Chains A and B, each alone.
Chain A
Amino acid sequence: MKKNFRSVKATLIMGILLVSLSAALVPTTSAGILFNLEHLVEVNYEDITGIVAPRGEWETITFNLTYKLVYGGLFPNLARLAAIIYAGRPIVVKIVPIESPDWVIASVDQSPQTSIQVDEPSDLQARLSIKVDEDAPAYGGGYVKLRITVPQVGGIGKFETEVDVKFDPGYLPIVQPQFPEGEYKLIGPMDTAVFPIEVINMGNARTRVYFEIVSIKDDWSAIITDEIVLDENEGSKETVWLTIKPPKSFGYHDESAAIYIHYTPEMVEQPDYKGETKPISLLVESRGFSFIGIEIIILPIIIIVVILLILYQFVIKKRLRK
């Protein structure tokens, strides 16, 4: 009886030991005692140092990947042997964009493929293409978060990592001038023509717009608001005032003049980034009689008239005496 109990006890203990040992020794995805095998991918890339132009071409970033099969264990040779078993098996290094702003379109050309090599790292390449919408805020901190995954293969554990690719969207210098009161005015020579010009920001950054009068007819004078600042919000607008004065010398006038203006957008935060200078032309016609300067002649006229009247009286008197 005692012997049987002892033998049962020994059997139980051995059994438990064996099960535990097997659980510890047999390689699984978690750390095992005998050996472990895992994928490893080392990622090298460079952030885009330049800018990505909105509505522009695709920008490409090249990822240099180094794939290695990591093995190790209590018996290194056993681990190596286990790795050799998997040698030659194809694997795919999946690269997937998982997060980016709404105005970014990101796509990976092709997930690179390789086969498992023991003690030989595999150099791979992948290309990430990025395109930016016109909504992208200029220098607004663009980024694409990528997840790089190598799935589990047999006893080789899964590998996963994330990388952030950063870039700056470029500046889109688009402003649209509008003329609520038209581009033509008819005024008198003693009047002043005032044109409001509404400027709308169609770009993606806070923009300063400079205005300059390029040419105007002689004797006409014009002034315009030097500069305005438009907020980044799409559709933000400001009004610029162009004022034109025609020649106003005494007499009748019937003349017209075309006024040419240039405007140049510029990013407020980065004054080096300017848009193209574009022209605006407006027409003003001056028609009518100008009384400016009449005070110079009217007083002498009055004096002359009075003198003539007095002389006339003397003449009449003289004739009557005759």
Chain B
Amino acid sequence: MEIGYNETVYFNVGMMDFETGEFQKVQKVQSFIFSRFMNFEVIEYPDENKYGSWKVLFNPTTIEYKEGSVLKTNVSVTLHAPTEAAHAIQSGILKLGMKVTHAYGSLWFNRDLPFPNSFFWTLYAFIGGWGRYSGTVDEGIREVEVLLKIKPYHKVKFSSVPYMFFRPDEIVSIPITVQNLGNYNDTFGFRVVTNKDDVKIADPISITLSPGEIKDTYLGVYFPPSFLDYGTRHDIKIQAYSIDQPNVTIAERTVYLETKGIYFSEMSSLGIIILIFIVLVIVLFLIFRRKHIMDNICVKPDKPWDIPEEEKYLKKLKQRDKQKYNEVLEIMEDEYKSALLWYEYYVKSIIQPKPVKKEKIKEVKKEKPKKKEKFLFKKEKKPSKKKEKEEIKIIEVPIIEKEKVLVDRKARAEKIMKEQTLLRIRRDQENQRRKLKKLSSQEGG
């Protein structure tokens, strides 16, 4: 009969009546039998029951030979999956034993037989010698072999897969550890289930494992390119099946993966470069535009030590007198700093002019003409002077004119140039004076 892991089979075992083909029923207990009963036991298991996988129960365990009792017992055979997958149970023979115990009374006489059979029974008891077993207990075992075919047990175990991180546009091969928990060499196939269309997956290849064997299979995954991935989780479910039962899923495992990172494809790199280029162009344009505007307002002062004449002078001075050279250079640096400060202030004032304060122009006061004398009241006429025409006296209040901001930048720039040139000339003159002084002092010495 067939039995699978974690299954129980039931059957009957007993003494068979070959005439009827059924189990024997005790019709009558012989008079020479003192007592008789039957026990059942397992003589041999298919794999010696090394791992305790078999459990055989008899019900009843003992059958007494009484009138009417049927000499059979119900046997239940249970097969548990072995604790270690490598200890697979395969088909074999289960040997059961029926132990019959006879307790004999007096074997010399058989009262069940009529005369002369009873006489011959006694005679044969003497001749055969079995008479002397009267009053003894005898055990005999009869064996029954049951062929048990173990059903193929298809079971596989996935080990857990750790949570993994990958980058966009990456191709990976993830190892999946698989163990055969079945009882025969089995070939396992795999199916992948995912709801993400953008992730491309190669199903793990089929593998063949013996019972208990552990091997790795590989899941190939391609993650889509993504310019900026903050962390996208991908759930991939793997189902295993035996090729003997392709429609039955025997194990499942969900693999959790995450993609994270920046990816620069050729197209996006080009786009980024173009964007950066545009931004740079705009920034440079703004910088140069500002510079142009500033130059229109006022040219930035030159560095005095870069002016060719000054440069020449400094060169000679450096060769002649280092200390003097440093002093002159320091003066030039201070002057340049001051010129720069002024330049910045000036430009700022142009760009953000101060509001012009309007002062009120005082009104021109008019002197009121005198009142004419009235006719009735004559007064002494004073020597009249010739009246001159009264003039309206205008009291002029000095109007303070505010200096208008020179709009003419060019003129202003020229003015500054002139000032700088003047400054330079003064400096040259100063230097020449110093030279002359020195020369004169040398000559005098």
Q: Which residues of A contact B (CB under 8 A)?
A: 24, 31-33, 35-40, 42-47, 49, 68, 70-74, 76, 79, 101, 137, 139-142, 157, 159, 161, 163-164, 166, 168, 190, 192, 194, 196, 205-206, 223, 225-226, 228-229, 231-233, 238-241, 243, 245, 248, 268-270, 292, 295, 302, 306, 309-310, 313, 316-317, 319-320, 322
Contact = CB atoms under 8 A, between A and B. Distances in A.
Interface of B: 5-6, 32, 34-35, 37, 39, 41-42, 49, 51-62, 64, 80-81, 83-85, 101, 103-109, 131-137, 139, 157, 159-163, 165, 181, 228, 230-231, 233, 235, 254, 256, 258, 279, 282, 286, 289-290, 293, 296-297, 350-353, 407, 409
A311 B107 CA distance: 133
Given A40-B35, A73-B106, A73-B108, A79 B134 contact: yes
A238 B160 CA distance: 7
Contacts of A295: 228
Contacts of B64: 42
A139 B134 contact: no
A295 B42 CA distance: 78
Nearest to B353: A319
A24 B129 CA distance: 11
B297 A71 contact: no
Given A72-B105, A226-B254, A228-B160, A316 B35 contact: no
Given A73-B135, A240-B160, 15 more contacts: A32-B132, A36-B134, A37-B135, A47-B58, A47-B61, A70-B34, A141-B80, A157-B136, A164-B41, A190-B231, A194-B162, A245-B231, A269-B6, A269-B80, A322-B407
Nearest to A42: B37
Given A163-B39, A192-B231, A316-B293, A72 B52 contact: no
Nearest to B254: A226
25 contacts: A36-B136, A37-B135, A42-B37, A42-B101, A71-B34, A72-B106, A140-B52, A140-B83, A157-B136, A163-B61, A164-B41, A190-B230, A192-B163, A194-B162, A223-B256, A229-B181, A233-B84, A240-B160, A243-B163, A243-B233, A245-B231, A268-B81, A269-B80, A313-B293, A319-B351
Nearest to A168: B55
Q: With a 10 A CB-CB cut-off, give which of B42, B137, B139, B256 has the most chain A CB atoms.
A: B137
B35 A68 contact: yes
A14 to B, nearest CB: 20
A173 to B, nearest CB: 15
B81 A70 contact: no
B133 A36 contact: yes
B286 A310 contact: yes
A164 B99 CA distance: 13
B135 A72 contact: yes
Contacts of B282: 306, 309
B137 A38 contact: yes
A196 B60 CA distance: 53
Contact of A161 (B139, B254, B297): B139
A270 B8 CA distance: 13
A306 B285 CA distance: 11
Contacts of A74: 106, 108, 131, 134
Nearest to A33: B132
Given A73-B106, A168-B55, A141 B49 contact: yes
Contacts of A164: 41-42
Contacts of B131: 33, 74
Closest 4 CB pairs of A and B: A36-B135, A141-B52, A72-B135, A72-B134
A137 B52 contact: yes
Nearest to B104: A72
Nearest to A159: B137
A302 B80 CA distance: 72
Contact of A70 (B39, B137, B181, B296): B137
A314 B180 CA distance: 79
A241 B256 contact: yes
B61 A45 contact: yes
B105 A76 contact: yes
B83 A70 contact: no
B136 A320 contact: no
A293 B151 CA distance: 59
B157 A229 contact: yes
A282 to B, nearest CB: 14
B106 A238 contact: no
Q: With a 10 A CB-CB cut-off, give which of A35, A137, A168 has the most chain B CB atoms.
A: A137
A156 to B, nearest CB: 10
B194 to A, nearest CB: 15
Nearest to A240: B160
B370 to A, nearest CB: 51
Given A140-B80, A320-B350, A40 B101 contact: yes
B208 to A, nearest CB: 20
Contacts of A223: 233, 235, 256
Given A72-B105, A205-B83, A42 B136 contact: no
Contacts of A196: 162
Nearest to A40: B103
Contacts of A316: 290, 293, 351
Nearest to A71: B135
Nearest to B34: A70
A238 B279 CA distance: 55
Contacts of A192: 163, 165, 231, 258
Nearest to B61: A45
Contacts of B85: 231
A320 B231 CA distance: 53
A42 B35 contact: yes
B136 A239 contact: no
Contacts of B56: 166
Contacts of B80: 139-141, 269
Contacts of A306: 279, 282
A270 B324 CA distance: 105
B34 A225 contact: no
Given A239-B160, A319-B351, A31 B133 contact: yes
Given A76-B105, A319-B351, A241 B160 contact: yes
A138 B54 CA distance: 12
A235 B352 CA distance: 82
Contacts of B108: 73-74
A269 B5 contact: yes
Contacts of A240: 160
Contacts of B61: 43-47, 163
A269 to B, nearest CB: 5
Contacts of A37: 135
